Amino acid sequence: MNASRNIGFIGTGIMGAPMAARLAEAGHRVRAWNRSPDKSRALADKGVETSITPLEAVDDADIVIVMLSSGPVCDEIILGQAGILAAMKPDSTLVVMSSIPMGTAQGHARACEERGIRYLDAPVSGGERGAIEGTLAIMVGGEEAAFDAVRPLLECLGSPVHVGPAGCGELAKLANQMIVANTIATVAEALLLAERGGADPARVRQALLGGFADSTILRQHGQRMIEGDFAPGGPARWQLKDTRTAESLAAELALELPVSSLVNGLYEDLVAHGDGDLDHSALIRELRRRNGLPL
């Protein structure tokens, strides 16, 4: 691993907290900021320092990592009136690991270039468990030299892969989120079919493991659906944010994606019915509603 780095970490929610903790435990100095300060203070025993403001967190940082909820929130914190970009030192690197629109990431990259700051968009997949265990899939867009410089640090968090210029990390994440959302919907439908047909859904799931239908979604989220355990690892409202973003990009590219469009509609209804803070595997609840089945 490279020598210890000064890291500013913005956003210590479900995903950000374990990521910041892993970096501190790897020997880096990590100063974190979160809108709810208690979330960053809870990391003190992991060696993470709490900053009162975002500007304090990025002061003299070699690398700033942003793990916030959406594109507008990232724009506010990075580019706003008291945004962190203006406070970052030259030749430092901004790594945005949030799931945001491709165009938003490209706008960040241009703003960074104007200020002599390197930029990477590096969204992740793997959920809270992947963040805790350091097994996240990390899709990185930006200049290859910037990626090479930060790669050892990202390897503390998972498996980083450089996929193209700025914005392409977010493009890869959209592809990931489409696969995740669509597979959740298919697994939910299959388990409902098994249940209504008279089979034990748990045993059907077990029977499918190792075959062509096997997947991380079947293993993890299929089990959640069977147990009715929808404590959020990835809240449904975040999944909807990403399916909407994918829909918008597909429209810009004049692409018709009928399966993804149908699944986006399911998530729209799930959130509208008050389940937005449940895990995205709770989509099975929406299918139960549509079929008049108990939740």
Q: What is the pLDDT of residues 12-27, one digit of tens each?
A: 999 999 999 999 999 9
SS3 199: coil
Which pTM value belongs to this model? 0.90
Q: Residue 281 maps to which CATH number?
A: 1.10.1040.10
In a domain, 295, yes or no: no
Rg of the Cα atoms in the chain: 20
pLDDT category at 1 given cuts 50, 70, 90 is very low
Q: 283-290 and 258-270 are packed helices; what angle lies between their axes, rounded to 10 degrees?
A: 90
Domain boundary, last residue among 113, 143, 165: 165
Same domain, 15 and 161: yes
- The CATH number of the domain holding residue 153 is 3.40.50.720
Query: How far is Cα 173 from Cα 155, in angstroms, rounded to an integer?
Result: 18
Q: Please tell me the distance from the alpha carbon of residue 79 to that of residue 85, in angstroms, as a whole number.
A: 6
SS3 content of the chain, % helix, strand, coil (to 5): 55, 15, 30
Indicate if 239 and 156 belong to the same structural domain.
Answer: no
Q: What local confidence, expressed as pLDDT, does residue 2 receive?
A: 52
21 and 58 belong to one structural domain: yes
- Out of 132, 148, 165, a domain closes at 165
pLDDT at position 127, please?
87
Does residue 194 form part of some domain?
yes
Query: What does the block give as tokens for 194?
Result: 């098994």
Looking at the fold, whether 12 and 155 belong to one and the same domain comes out as yes
**Among this protein's residues, is 173 annotated catalytic?**
yes
Helices (H), 80-167: 102-114, 127-133, 144-154
| Cβ atoms 54, 34 nearer than 8 A | no
Domain boundary among 165, 183, 212: 165
Q: Which residue has the tokens 């986006």?
A: 264
Is residue 1 assigned to a domain?
A: no
Task: State pLDDT tens for residues 109-156.
Answer: 999 999 999 999 999 999 899 999 999 999 999 999 999 999 999 999
Dihedral of CA 225/228/229/233: which sign? Answer: positive
Residue-number span of the structural domain to which 184 is assigned: 172-290
**102 close to 167: Cβ distance less than 8 angstroms:** yes
DSSP code, position 198: T
| Annotated active-site residue in 39, 89, 173, 241 | 173
- 244 domain residue, yes or no: yes
Q: Please, are residues 189 and 287 in contact by the beta-carbon 8 Å criterion?
A: yes
14 and 123 share one domain: yes
73 and 144 assigned to the same domain: yes
Q: What is the mean pLDDT of the chain?
A: 96
Q: Are residues 40 and 10 in the same domain?
A: yes
The residue type found at 292 is G
Please check whether residues 238 and 140 belong to one and the same domain. no
State the pLDDT at residue 233. Answer: 83
Which tokens go with 195? 């249940």
Into how many domains does the chain fold?
2
Instruction: Compute the distance between CA of residue 289 and CA of residue 89 in angstroms, rounded to an integer.
Output: 53
223 shares its domain with 193: yes
The neighbour count for residue 47, using CB atoms within 10 Å, is 16
Long-range contacts of 175-178 (CB under 8 A, 24+ apart): 176/125, 176/137, 176/139, 177/99, 177/125, 177/239, 177/242, 177/243, 177/246, 178/243, 178/246, 178/257, 178/260
